[in-house]
Amino acid sequence: MAKKEYYEDVRKQNLEPLWTIPDWFLSAEPLKTYGPYQWKWQDVYPRLLGAGEHMVPGLAGSRRVLVYAHPELRQSLGTTHTLNVAMQMILPGEKAPAHRHTPLAIRFIISGSGASTTVNGERMAMESGDFLVTPRWAWHDHRHDGDGPMIWMDGLDIPITRFLNGVFVESYREAMQAVTVADNESRKLFGIAGIYPKQIDSLTPANESLMAYPWANTLEALRNARETVTDPFEGAIVEYRNPRTGGSVLPTLGATMQSLLPDEETQSHRHTSSAAYYVYRGQGRTFIDGTAYDWNEGDVLIVPPWSWHAHRNLSNQHEAFLFAITDEPMLRAMGLYREERGPQK
Ligand SMILES: [Fe+2]
Ligand SMILES: [Fe+2]
């Protein structure tokens, strides 16, 4: 058979000769399929408040949420290729009804006071700087009994769950769950490392591990990290973990809180995980593959996989705090996590 006919014949059978497939099929290192992106809080905040006039959280589990949809990932509505970040708001007296879904969720509380999230019958407080998790397929609802808008950041693994065809969603039989255990039960059981109720192994709590991590604990852990660990690529950084397993806080998503002292700058590194940074406090600059992104409180900044990045605190007086959601646990689980340390090549 002549060469030309051979290739036509093979392709007619939906077979592709590997030796003709271009580099994107197997590249020497990860290809850049999307770039960095930044959302300024001054652009997001008024539009989030505006959603208060146009949408009321209602039945069928609907939420007042603005999704950070990366312009280069419009088809998946991803913030990165693996995760979604969104801002959610509820107003005084409102309830976001109970539902559950297989995509899991991280929540970082930004502002407001007096609201609560109930997960599997455990009600937990939400205050600025607190970190909450909702595991896969866990019933959850939110209510706001305080004053003023309550705003938090959601992080979910929707793009990867959809890619794996694993999405299920279900509404609860009633609008809100009954609270069945002591408020903040998981914090009371698992929130102090190394000290637990004597009966811990025989208990059947509403949630099997810690669901809410208060800001005061995060801050203390950061201070302790600053005194004990030196890492020129990170400043001081703590990772939220599951205290019962010692592993990442959720199977697919990880989260960190990082502190940069006045004028502190980190050295450049890159890794196969992607990250969505939220500027909790401070102002600074992040270099991503040589481009500078200046950030202020409330901004969200995307660092794509395998992109060199370094942070700098631009204030000579105030500490900066960067919260980040990453897909590092899923890359580690699949043996795909790699890090390269600068200087940038
Ligand atoms: Fe939800
Ligand atoms: Fe990094």
Beta-carbon count within 10 A of 160 CB: 21
| 99-155 per-position pLDDT tens digit | 999 999 999 999 999 999 999 999 999 999 999 999 999 999 999 999 999 999 999
Average pLDDT, stretch 72-87? 96
* Separation of alpha carbons 210 and 218, rounded Å: 14
Residue 333 pLDDT > 80, yes or no?
Answer: yes
The DSSP string of 62-106 is ---EEE---GGGTTTT-SSSS-EEEEEEE-TT-EEEEEEESS-EE
* Separation of alpha carbons 283 and 131, rounded Å: 21
Q: How many residues does the chain have?
A: 345
Q: Where are the domains of the chain?
A: 37-341
Could you tell me the distance, in angstroms and rounded to a whole number, from the CA of residue 168 to the centre of ligand 1? 11
Q: Three-state SS across 17-65?
A: CHHHCCCCCCCCCCCCCCCCEEECHHHHHHHHHHHHHHCCCCCCCCCCE
What's the pTM? Answer: 0.96
Residue 47 pLDDT > 90, yes or no?
Answer: yes
Could you tell me the distance, in angstroms and rounded to a whole number, from the CA of residue 322 to the centre of ligand 2? 11
Could you tell me the distance, in angstroms and rounded to a whole number, from the CA of residue 176 to the centre of ligand 1? 13
Which ligand lies nearest to the CA atom of residue 169 in the structure? 1
| 4-14 per-position pLDDT tens digit | 999 999 999 99
The pLDDT assigned to 62 comes to 82
The pLDDT assigned to 345 comes to 62
The pLDDT assigned to 326 comes to 98
* Separation of alpha carbons 228 and 230, rounded Å: 7
Could you tell me the distance, in angstroms and rounded to a whole number, from the CA of residue 299 to the centre of ligand 2? 17
Which ligand lies nearest to the CA atom of residue 272 in the structure? 2
Could you tell me the distance, in angstroms and rounded to a whole number, from the CA of residue 264 to the centre of ligand 1? 37
Which ligand lies nearest to the CA atom of residue 341 in the structure? 2
| 174-218 per-position pLDDT tens digit | 889 999 999 999 999 999 999 999 999 999 999 999 999 999 999
Q: Sign of the CA dihedral 227, 276, 269, 336? A: positive
Could you tell me the distance, in angstroms and rounded to a whole number, from the CA of residue 154 to the centre of ligand 1? 9
Percent of the chain with pLDDT over 90: 93
Which ligand lies nearest to the CA atom of residue 65 in the structure? 1
List, in order, residues 6 or more apart from 54 with CB less than 8 Å away. Answer: none
The pLDDT assigned to 60 comes to 53
Which ligand lies nearest to the CA atom of residue 322 in the structure? 2
Which ligand lies nearest to the CA atom of residue 106 in the structure? 1
| 220-259 per-position pLDDT tens digit | 999 999 999 989 999 899 999 999 999 999 999 999 999 9
Could you say which architecture CATH assigns to the domain 37-341? Sandwich (2.60)
- Asked, as a colleague might, if the bond just before 343 is cis with ω within 30 of 0, I would say yes
Could you tell me the distance, in angstroms and rounded to a whole number, from the CA of residue 93 to the centre of ligand 2? 40
Check if the beta carbon of residue 314 is closer than 8 Å to that of residue 283. Answer: yes
Average pLDDT, stretch 161-175? 95
Could you tell me the distance, in angstroms and rounded to a whole number, from the CA of residue 100 to the centre of ligand 1? 6
List, in order, residues 6 or more apart from 124 with CB less than 8 Å away. Answer: 116, 117, 118, 132, 183, 184, 186, 187, 211, 212
Which ligand lies nearest to the CA atom of residue 237 in the structure? 2
Residue 61 pLDDT > 70, yes or no?
Answer: no
The pLDDT assigned to 24 comes to 84
- Identify the H or E element spanning 329: helix 328-333
List, in order, residues 6 or more apart from 238 with CB less than 8 Å away. Answer: 218, 221, 222, 225, 256, 257, 258
Could you tell me the distance, in angstroms and rounded to a whole number, from the CA of residue 71 to the centre of ligand 1? 24
The pLDDT assigned to 344 comes to 73
Nearest-CA neighbor of 249 among 84, 106, 129, 100? 106
| 299-315 per-position pLDDT tens digit | 999 999 999 999 999 99
Which ligand lies nearest to the CA atom of residue 277 in the structure? 2
Could you tell me the distance, in angstroms and rounded to a whole number, from the CA of residue 308 to the centre of ligand 2? 8
* CA distances, 174 to each of 45, 96, 105, 136, 170 (Å): 32, 12, 21, 20, 12
Which ligand lies nearest to the CA atom of residue 97 in the structure? 1
Which ligand lies nearest to the CA atom of residue 156 in the structure? 1
More confident residue, 46 or 345: 46
